[in-house]
């Protein structure tokens, strides 16, 4: 019989593991018509669910704090570089290989920091989870189980990379066009009055 995961390594994973065992325990309690056992098991289930919700909320709160802190630091750093000397003029006027620097500093930094913050907790916990479940799978199926699973994921990653390559290129191009589209609207907003006078002059 395998042991449960070590709670000191990953509390949230331990709670999720315990919650997953509860449904099977209900069969025995209901089959034996054990009222006290049913009450005890239900109380334990509620406590584990509340604890799991609390841990998930804390995890989300921590990720949001990291997101805000990282975005603030990265945005300030990029702005210092952007306004150093005539960098902003060079990027917007003299060079065309970097499209829409304002979009890169605002939207791309926001997306990058949000994705990185959501990955932070997973990157910390995943190695322990991976090692533990690999060991459990090896105990149950021998080498065939872990090798098959890792082989499946490696193959899936290669296929996904091959299929997603052209799509990613199209998405990058779409983002560039979105930035150009927004920039044209910004030009209309900034030059609305001169454009209106010019249009009126043309109709005279």
Other CB atoms within 10 A of residue 27 CB: 9
> What is the domain range of residue 95?
11-141
pLDDT for the residue 184: 80
Residue 8 has pLDDT above 50, yes or no: no
Q: Is 85 buried (19+), middle (13-18) or exposed (0-12) by CB count in 10 A?
A: exposed
Q: Is 180 among the domain residues?
A: no
Any domain includes 70 = yes
pLDDT at 9 over 70: no
pLDDT recorded at residue 101: 81
Per-residue pLDDT for 2 more than 60? no
In terms of average pLDDT, the best of 17-21, 98-102, 141-145, 188-192 is: 141-145
* CA 189 and chain centroid, separation: 34
Mean pLDDT, rounded, of the chain: 81
Cα–Cα distances (Å) from 26 to 19, 38, 51, in that order, read: 12, 7, 20
177 belongs to a structural domain:
no
Characterise 22 by phi-psi region: left (phi > 0), alpha (psi -120 to 50), beta (else): alpha
What average pLDDT does this structure show over 14-43?
Answer: 81
pLDDT of amino acid 77: 93
Question: Within a domain: residue 131?
Answer: yes
Percentage of the chain modeled with pLDDT above 90 = 14
Into how many domains does the chain fold? 1
Mean of the pLDDT values across residues 72-85?
A: 91
Domain annotation covers residue 62: yes
The 3-class secondary structure across the chain, one letter per residue, is: CCCCCCCCCCHHHHHHHHHHHHHHHHHHHHHCCCHHHHHHHHHHHHHHHHHHHHHHHHHHHHHHHHHHHHHHHHHHHHHHHHCCCCHHHHHHHHCCCCCCHHHHHHHHHHHHHHHHHHHHHHHHHHHHHHHHHHHHHHHHHCCHHHHHHHHHHHHHHHHHHHHHHHHHHHHHHHHHHHHHHHHHHHHHHHCHHHHHHHHHHHHC
């Amino acid at each position: 019989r395998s042991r449960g995961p070590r709670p000191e390594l990953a509390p949230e994973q331990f709670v999720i593991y315990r919650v997953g065992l509860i449904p099977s325990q209900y069969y025995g309690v209901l089959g034996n018509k054990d009222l006290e056992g049913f009450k005890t098991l239900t109380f334990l289930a509620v406590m584990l669910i509340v604890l799991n919700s609390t841990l998930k909320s804390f995890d989300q709160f921590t990720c949001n704090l990291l997101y805000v802190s990282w975005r603030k630091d990265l945005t300030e750093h990029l702005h210092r570089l952007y306004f150093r000397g005539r960098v902003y003029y060079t990027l917007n006027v003299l060079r065309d290989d970097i499209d829409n620097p304002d979009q890169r500093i605002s939207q791309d930094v926001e997306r990058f920091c949000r994705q990185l913050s959501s990955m932070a907790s997973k990157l910390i916990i995943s190695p322990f989870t991976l090692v533990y479940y690999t060991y459990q799978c090896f105990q149950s199926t021998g080498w065939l189980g872990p090798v098959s699973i890792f082989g499946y994921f490696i193959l899936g990653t290669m296929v996904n990379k091959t299929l997603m390559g052209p799509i990613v290129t199209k998405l990058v191009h779409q983002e560039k066009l979105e930035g150009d589209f927004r920039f044209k609207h910004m030009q209309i907003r900034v030059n609305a009055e001169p454009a209106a006078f010019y249009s009126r002059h043309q109709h005279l």
